[in-house]
């Protein structure tokens, strides 16, 4: 139990702390020419820094900093101080961010349909430290381009979510359709760490006339995809086996409970992979799939007729997907993480 005296001291210290922080957190405004003349005049008559700050309405640290920065041996000169300030603004690291180089990076990256988040992460890999830009800054640049009549904004990836509106769910949905199903609870813990390669997650991206079967590596997000014209267990199993034969090895595959994956035993026998299934309606156990599907939907939205695509068109798009920087990979692309080879400038 805290005594009243101790409680009173804590309240007093808290109030003092808040007062100090409020004083420090005042919105910062750069000094104009007139306050510099005031500082010079008041300093000459011997006024203290705190009194000068109170007189012109700024924090005393601001006055101290201005005097320290702009006082040569001859003393503080308001005209020279203003010139020094202009020079610092023009040559500062922040000012140098806006240049033709970063504008070109943004323009070319948006044309590749990269998101501002991906562009921001990639700039860290490709450019100097001083050229790092936040996603908010990149959005602003794109908006500036739009206001000037440009159309970069049209290449921004846009997609939405359809949220579950409630209702009764069958917790065993899909489970009865999959013989010899092994639950994700039995999957080795090392898979959850995402540090070991060759652990993949599989899913189907539904379309009109055809569908995509996808396999994504949990560690490097490298995506394999193959089109199927029906979701029968045999055709989907054949597609998975065909894709997995192209990689060096595969240790585990984690799937959802769709009936198209009922032929998982044949996949396991053909590839040597252990196959596990997420729990029904547990989308958080399949975050990698959800993210990858959302990226694919950016260029092939729902109700798009995938049967009209050529095989080359599908390969080219998946190739571009694997060449898109990822925040989770520190700005690298899945292709770079897969090959363990950072592109040299």
The per-residue pLDDT for range 17-72, each reduced to its tens digit, is 455 545 544 444 566 767 777 777 777 777 887 888 887 778 878 877 777 776 66
- The rounded distance, in Å, linking the Cα atoms of 101 and 25 is 35
Identify the domain boundary among 35, 65, 91: 91
Would 73 be classed as within a structural domain? Answer: yes
Render pLDDT for 4-23 as a digit per residue (tens, 0 to 9).
565 566 566 556 545 554 55
Q: Which residues contact 282 (CB under 8 A, 6 or more apart)?
A: none
User: Is residue 169 a part of any domain in this protein?
Assistant: no
Q: Determine, yes or no, domain membership for 163.
A: no
Torsion of CA 34, 39, 44, 48, to 10 degrees: 150
Residues 308 and 190 in one domain: yes
* Domain limit, last residue, from 91, 107, 127: 91
pLDDT at 166: 52
* Residue 257 belongs to a domain: yes
For residue 85, give every residue at least 6 positions away whose Cβ sits within 8 Å of its Cβ, in sequence order, or none.
30, 31, 70
Q: What is the pLDDT of residue 194?
A: 84
Give the structural domain span for 237: 175-339
Give yes or no: residues 231 and 262 share one domain. Answer: yes
Could you list the mean pLDDT of each consecutive 10-residue stretch along the chain, which spans 345 residues? 56 57 51 74 80 80 76 68 68 60 85 87 74 84 87 74 50 67 89 86 90 92 93 92 89 90 92 90 82 88 89 92 90 86 43
- Is the residue at 128 inside a domain? yes
Both 86 and 125 in one domain: the answer is: no
Specify whether 103 is located in the same domain as 188.
no
Instruction: Say what the pLDDT of residue 176 is.
Output: 66
Residue 345 lies inside a defined structural domain of this protein: no
Instruction: Write down the pLDDT at residue 26.
Output: 47
Q: What is the pLDDT of residue 343?
A: 44
Rounded distance, CA 234 to CA 242, Å? 12
Q: 143 with 260, same domain?
A: no
**In which residue are the tokens 């049967």 written?**
307
Q: Any residues with CB less than 8 A from the CB of 170 and at least 6 apart, and which?
A: 280
Residue 1 to residues 4, 6, 149, Cα–Cα distance (Å): 10, 10, 67
Q: Based on the domain organization, do 265 and 210 belong to the same domain? A: yes
Residues near 325 by Cβ (< 8 Å), separated by ≥ 6?
A: 114, 118, 119, 121, 122, 125, 331, 332, 333
Same domain, yes or no: 182 and 312: yes
pLDDT score recorded for residue 237 = 93
Within a domain: 270: yes
Number of domains present in the structure of the chain: 3
**318 within a domain of the structure (yes/no):** yes
Say what the pLDDT of residue 239 is. Answer: 93
């Amino acid at each position: 139990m805290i005594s009243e005296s101790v409680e009173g001291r804590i309240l007093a210290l808290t109030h003092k702390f808040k007062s100090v922080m409020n004083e420090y957190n005042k919105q910062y405004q750069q000094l104009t020419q007139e306050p510099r003349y005031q500082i010079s005049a008041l300093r000459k008559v011997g006024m203290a820094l705190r009194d000068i700050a109170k007189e012109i309405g700024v924090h005393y640290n601001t006055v101290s900093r201005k005097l320290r920065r702009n006082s040569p041996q001859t003393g503080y000169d308001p005209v020279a101080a203003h010139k020094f300030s202009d020079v610092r603004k023009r040559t500062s690291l922040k000012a140098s961010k806006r240049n033709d180089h970063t504008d070109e990076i943004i323009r070319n990256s948006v044309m590749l349909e990269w998101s501002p988040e991906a562009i921001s992460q990639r700039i860290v890999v490709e450019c100097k430290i001083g050229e790092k830009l936040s996603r908010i800054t990149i959005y602003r640049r794109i908006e500036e381009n739009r206001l000037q009549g440009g159309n970069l904004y049209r290449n921004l990836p846009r997609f939405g979510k359809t949220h579950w509106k409630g209702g009764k769910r069958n917790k065993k949905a899909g489970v009865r359709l999959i013989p010899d199903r092994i639950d994700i609870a039995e999957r080795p813990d090392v898979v959850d760490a995402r540090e070991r390669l060759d652990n993949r997650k599989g899913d189907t991206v539904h379309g009109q006339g055809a569908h995509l079967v996808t396999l994504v590596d949990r560690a490097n997000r490298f995506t394999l995809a193959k089109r199927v014209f029906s979701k029968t267990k045999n055709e989907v199993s054949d597609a998975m086996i065909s894709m997995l034969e192209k990689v060096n090895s595969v240790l585990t595959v984690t799937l959802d409970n769709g009936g198209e994956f009922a032929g998982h035993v044949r996949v396991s026998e053909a590839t040597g992979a252990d196959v596990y299934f997420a729990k029904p309606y547990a989308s958080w156990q399949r975050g990698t799939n959800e993210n990858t599907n959302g990226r694919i939907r950016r260029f092939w939205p729902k109700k798009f007729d995938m049967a009209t695509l050529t095989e080359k068109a599908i390969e080219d798009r998946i190739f571009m997907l694997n060449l898109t920087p990822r925040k989770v990979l520190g700005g690298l692309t899945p292709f770079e993480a897969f090959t363990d080879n950072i592109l040299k400038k």
